Amino acid sequence: MFSKTLLAIGVALLPVTFATPIALEERALANYVEEVTIHSSCNTTQRRQLTKALSDTWELVSMAKEYTYTNGANDSLYELYFGDGPITNVIGAFDAVLKSNKDGVLLRCDDIDGNCRLPGWRGHWRGENGTAETVICDASYTDRKSNDQFCAFGYTVAGSSPSYYFGTDLLHRLYHVPQITDGKVEHYADSYDECLDLAKNNATFATLNTHSLQYYANHVFAIEVAQGGESCIGRADVAGAASAPATATSSAALACHTHADGALHCE
């Protein structure tokens, strides 16, 4: 009698146990490209320098991201540039450069828009002419320095252009490309003092400010990798930094580019 009851229950459960599986619709995934493409207009010399500069960008950004993860939002260096702003914004801005889909993102060398002939122009985002494209002008190859030269030639974080190094300059230029950060990283403050003031008075915007992210990445690299000491920071009011004149150290301090609305911006 007991076994007959169990058999009856098992038969009753069969339709549920062996139900027809639900058919899942296949997803159409976009083509994913992790690295920036160098356009065919770049010759071998330009291509080699751009490849090195992009490598410098990944090194710089990776170090800044790791430092932020490790030390958190209560770190004095983080607070200097971002105040009490959300750490997820900063990590996200760095991670976007490293991991965003760069399908179609190009660095060009052909001055297709004719801006490289203008004084002070070392490159520009093409805007509506090519939203995923950036032109690198000849002056970038002569004026920009590599990560191997960090804290040399009188450079200071506080006193020099945030784009003094080629790797940090490309970080800036990639932030202009909409598909890198969905247009969320913008120019809310430019000079070093303005960036520090933004951290104190509008920390959320500081975490999404192009130059704040550049200055912070440079500062982290200067102390963690280049180990340039206090003299490489350049300001007495920066935690742990010695006093030094806040003056530009190179003609690379003048760098012009266009914004999404066509406005000209020169550092």
- Beta strands 256-258 and 264-266, pairing class: antiparallel
pLDDT at 21 over 50: yes
pLDDT at 107 over 70: yes
Q: What pLDDT does residue 237 have?
A: 52
Which of 51-60, 110-119, 146-155, 254-263 has the lowest average pLDDT?
Answer: 254-263
3-state DSSP assignment of residue 193: helix
- Which tens digits make up the pLDDT trace of 203-239? 999 999 999 999 999 999 999 999 999 999 997 455 4
The residue ranking higher by pLDDT, 267 or 139, is 139
Calpha distance 161→171 (Å, rounded): 13
Domains annotated on the chain, with CATH: 43-266 (3.40.390.10)
Q: What pLDDT does residue 162 have?
A: 96
The tokens for 12 are: 């009753």
Strand order across the 123-125 sheet: 37-38, 106-108, 133-136, 123-125
Q: What pLDDT does residue 24 have?
A: 75
pLDDT category at 267 given cuts 50, 70, 90 is low
Calpha distance 202→196 (Å, rounded): 10
pLDDT at 100 over 90: yes
Q: What pLDDT does residue 265 have?
A: 53
Q: What pLDDT does residue 246 have?
A: 34
pLDDT category at 262 given cuts 50, 70, 90 is very low
Q: What pLDDT does residue 187 have?
A: 96
For 64-114, give the DSSP string.
HHHHHHHH-TTSHHHHHHHTT--HHHHHHHHHHHHHS--TT-EEE-S-TTS
Report the mean per-residue pLDDT for the chain: 86
Q: What pLDDT does residue 253 have?
A: 38
